[in-house]
């Protein structure tokens, strides 16, 4: 067991998989000597050289498409998008090419690639550099979506994403890159589709992930002082979703709140709410509620905090459920 930052855990996961399998390569903007925009690829160029750590031109559509071709020819590329917002440029390569190839070829071709994208608020970087994009991609059959919240999951899910034979959208959160946590030694992996019960409780279930998970845990600790017991579930992967863990919790508590950073409208919370209604409707004591960002572009600078859920708004919503 060792203590490391979230960003370091991403790096270690990639490094171990590149050492394990020579077909794993990394491509993106400034990933060589600069180490990427936030440093997660630092040192990989020195270890693996220019054939496996490759700088790309500023054309997310072009080099993501190149990654699809490499994956079809037997490589396992890790494609880095400096900011998740740039996934809009790469949308066709991901949604219409990578995710559909296995189906359209009758299983003759697969696209084992990872698209790494740093998302979320926390740096005040404005409306075009601070978005969460899972809502954009959740309706793409054939695509898997990973959203780690802790350093241990950042490493364990990275290793499993690289080994998966289908395209995986691996979403890192920029506000979490510097948080520290214990990461198991050895070939540590976290299966895709396995949620984590971050806090046990009996009155209300909160489902949340990434930055919002920590705000929900803060709210749960405050609510405990008032005699309200909150269970907090971190899905860890959105596609595939661990509906069994989520519904088991809601069947126990009878109340559910989904909190995410994406705007409430069209966010992944709607999908989780549908799952809960399908599996737990007769056991619900109150309607399923969602809490996300306001339906507006994120403002620049410190003002972005007023667009997002916080401890107080989460506590207020939980009390409303009761």
Please identify every residue annotated as catalytic: 129
Task: Give the separation between CA 98 and CA 272, rounded to whole angstroms.
Answer: 25
In this structure, are residues 283 and 205 in contact, taking their beta carbons and an 8 Å threshold? no
Residue spans of beta strands (DSSP E) within the chain: 2-5, 24-28, 53-55, 76-81, 114-119, 144-146, 168-173, 180-183, 196-199, 204-208, 230-234, 237-239, 256-263, 289-293
136: which residues sit within 8 A by CB, 6+ positions away? Answer: 87, 88, 91
DSSP sequence for 136-191: HHTT-TT-EEE---SHHHHHHHHHHHHH-SS-EEEEEEGGGTT-EEEE-SSS----
Asked if residue 181 has a cis previous peptide bond (ω within 30° of 0), the answer is no
For 99-106, the CB contacts below 8 A with 24+ separation are: 99/140, 99/141, 99/142, 99/143, 99/166, 99/167, 100/141, 100/142, 101/68, 101/72, 101/142, 102/142, 102/166, 103/141, 103/142
Instruction: Please report where in the chains the tokens 């919370």 appear, as a residue.
Output: 269
Measured in whole angstroms, the distance separating CA 120 from the mean position of its chain's CA atoms is 10
């Amino acid at each position: 067991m060792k203590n490391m930052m979230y960003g370091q855990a991403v790096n270690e996961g990639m490094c171990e998989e590149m050492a394990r399998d020579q077909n794993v390569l990394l491509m993106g903007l400034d990933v060589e000597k600069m180490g990427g925009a936030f440093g997660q690829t630092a040192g990989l160029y020195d270890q693996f050289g220019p054939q496996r750590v490759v700088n790309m031109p500023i054309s997310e559509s072009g080099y993501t498409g190149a990654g699809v071709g490499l994956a079809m020819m037997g490589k396992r590329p890790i494609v880095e998008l400096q900011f998740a917002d740039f996934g809009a440029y790469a949308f066709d390569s991901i949604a219409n090419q990578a995710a559909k190839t296995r189906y359209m070829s009758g299983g003759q071709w697969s696209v084992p690639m990872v698209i790494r994208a740093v998302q979320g608020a926390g740096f005040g970087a404005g409306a075009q550099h601070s978005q969460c994009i899972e809502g954009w991609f959740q309706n793409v059959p054939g695509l898997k979506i990973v959203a780690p919240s802790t350093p241990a999951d950042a490493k364990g899910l990275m290793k499993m994403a690289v080994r998966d034979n289908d395209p995986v959208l691996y979403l890192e959160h920029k506000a979490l890159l510097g948080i520290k946590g214990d990461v198991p030694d050895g070939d540590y992996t976290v299966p895709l589709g396995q949620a984590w019960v971050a806090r046990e409780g009996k009155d209300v279930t909160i489902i949340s992930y990434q930055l919002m998970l920590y705000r929900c845990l803060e709210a749960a600790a405050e609510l405990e002082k008032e005699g309200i017991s909150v269970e907090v579930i971190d899905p860890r992967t959105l596609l595939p979703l661990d509906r069994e863990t989520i519904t088991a919790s809601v069947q126990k508590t009878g109340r559910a709140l989904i909190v995410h950073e994406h705007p409430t409208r069209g966010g992944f919370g709607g999908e989780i709410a549908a799952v809960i209604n399908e599996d737990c409707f007769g056991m619900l004591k109150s309607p399923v509620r969602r809490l996300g960002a306001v339906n507006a572009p994120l403002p620049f600078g410190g003002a972005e905090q007023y667009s997002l859920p916080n401890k107080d708004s989460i506590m207020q919503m939980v009390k409303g459920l009761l």
